Structure 1
Amino acid sequence: MPQPVELPHEPRADGDPMGTPADDETVLWKGRPDPHVLARTAMHTRSLAVYFAVLVGVWVFSGNPNAAITFAVLGVIAIAILYSIAWFSARTTLYILTETRLIMRIGMAIETRINVPLRHVQAANLRARGSGHGDITLELGGERLLGYVLLWPHVRPWHLHRPQPMLRAVPDAAKVAEMLADSCAAIGEIERGKAGAATGDERPAPAAHAGSASFAASRRAPSPVRLEEATA
């Protein structure tokens, strides 16, 4: 059984059943996003830096150093702001996985506590982000939908119609994904197989991203949960 992870400066929700595991719940894992990975993947700071570098280069070769300096300063300011947002978002976020649910305590200005019962998880997809970090997206069943703006940045980009909660930039993402699959296995049956081997009523795993690992655990009642792993 994995040991609970104690994090410094955790957001507190003492006595709140929405944000605090009950006494009879087993906390399997606690974690929060890595601020540097969050800035790169959610705030797109690397892409923004390349964009401003190109602009600066264009103005330098055009013989306009004043414009180049202006865009360089603007680029530094923009990236600094995004890094600050990522750092503050990571500091005010706490993901808690128990044997029955996933608790997301998020919100930079006002803390929001979101409960995701594991029995509602239809699929979980892992996208590796380097150095053991990764994003884990949850596809949920049921009629109740979570708001995209409420979840941001802990949400899969551009899925506005049915927002999908996302554990962003978590360390040891593969282990967390396995832990999530094992928790779902305690609720429903689970099969382990190779990627692309799903047949019949089983749902195929999502395509792996180039240069990254892919994980999927899909559920379709009354069919069993399927866990698939693939490497690009």
Structure 2
Amino acid sequence: MPHDDFAFEPVKGLPEAPPEGEHLIWQGRPDAWALIRDALNIWWVVGYFCALAVWRFLAVVDLMPLDRAIAASVPFLFLGAIVCLLLGLVGWVQARATVYTITNRRVAMRIGAALTVTLNLPYSRIASIDLDQRSNGTGTIAMKPLGGMPLGYLVCWPHVRPWHFSRPEPALRCIPDAGKVAHLLAEAAESQIAQPTVTRRPAATAVAAE
């Protein structure tokens, strides 16, 4: 029988039911191929092993017949194919295990394949939102948290803005229709931040202040 590893979630992508007044705006996950291409840099890996094969061929072509020189280079291509298959598997598993959630109060990220964690980012703790969108519509939305992120770069990778190691920025990586999602996120954040905050003081304190 099929088994759902996340059947314990009261709401998909969230470790507990949203409190009263909070509702979902958008949910999604990374596009698997975009994640493999952009986060795992598969084209760089392909180029690296092709360059190794060419280097090997040029190094031995003057020392042996052409067919043997080609045979000496082919193993690098096979090794590269194996590495690319492994990267593709990792990217597919990461995409399947990830759920990004935008509500009217926060951004929640259920991330991790082997060790699953849920990162909650209230809008009041987000300093800025940056969009990096490709021509095909997929893109990454990075959020700069106020006061730093509670989890490290390696723990959250690849769901972080690339190359920001000292101050990691959680990111919705390689999602389809990134521009539309960024617009929804900006509207929700502006709406939540614009709401006034009421602080209640005990009556005795209020009288004393007068």
Please state which band the TM-score falls in when normalised by the shorter chain.
0.7 to 0.9
Which residue identity does 1:42 align to in structure 2?
A: A
Taking a change above 3 Å as real, the CA distance of residues 164 and 75 of structure 1, as seen in their structure-2 partners, is: same
CA deviation string 1:58-104 (max 9, x = no partner): 33344222331110011101111111100000000000100000110
CA distance in 1: counterparts of 2:56 and 2:154, whole angstroms:
37
Is residue 11–residue 93 contact of structure 1 (8 Å, CA) maintained in 2?
Answer: no
Partner of 2:66: none
Matched residue pairs, number? 181
The DSSP-based 3-state class of the residue aligned with 1:187 is helix
Structure 1 residue 176: Cα displacement: 0.4
The DSSP-based 3-state class of the residue aligned with 1:188 is helix
Which residue identity does 2:134 align to in structure 1?
A: R
Partner of 1:93: 98
Taking a change above 3 Å as real, the CA distance of residues 20 and 95 of structure 1, as seen in their structure-2 partners, is: farther
Is residue 123–residue 193 contact of structure 2 (8 Å, CA) maintained in 1?
Answer: no
Identity of aligned residues (%): 34
Is residue 124–residue 139 contact of structure 1 (8 Å, CA) maintained in 2?
Answer: yes
**Which residue, 9, 16, 19 being the options, matches 1:14?**
9
State the TM-score, normalizing by the size of structure 1.
0.72
Is residue 21–residue 27 contact of structure 1 (8 Å, CA) maintained in 2?
Answer: no
Q: Which has a greater percent of strand?
A: 1
Superposed CA RMSD: 2.2
Instruction: Say which one has the larger Rg.
Output: 2
Which residue identity does 1:26 align to in structure 2?
A: H
Structure 1 portions without partners, runs of 5+: 1-8, 190-232
Structure 2 portions without partners, runs of 5+: 62-68, 195-210
CA distance in 2: counterparts of 1:21 and 1:165, whole angstroms:
22
Partner of 2:186: 181
**Which residue, 39, 48, 53 being the options, matches 2:50?**
53
The DSSP-based 3-state class of the residue aligned with 1:186 is helix
The DSSP-based 3-state class of the residue aligned with 1:138 is strand
Is residue 31–residue 176 contact of structure 2 (8 Å, CA) maintained in 1?
Answer: yes
Taking a change above 3 Å as real, the CA distance of residues 40 and 101 of structure 1, as seen in their structure-2 partners, is: same
Partner of 2:165: 160
Taking a change above 3 Å as real, the CA distance of residues 70 and 143 of structure 1, as seen in their structure-2 partners, is: closer
CA distance in 2: counterparts of 1:10 and 1:101, whole angstroms:
24
Is residue 124–residue 138 contact of structure 1 (8 Å, CA) maintained in 2?
Answer: yes
Q: Which has a greater percent of helix?
A: 2
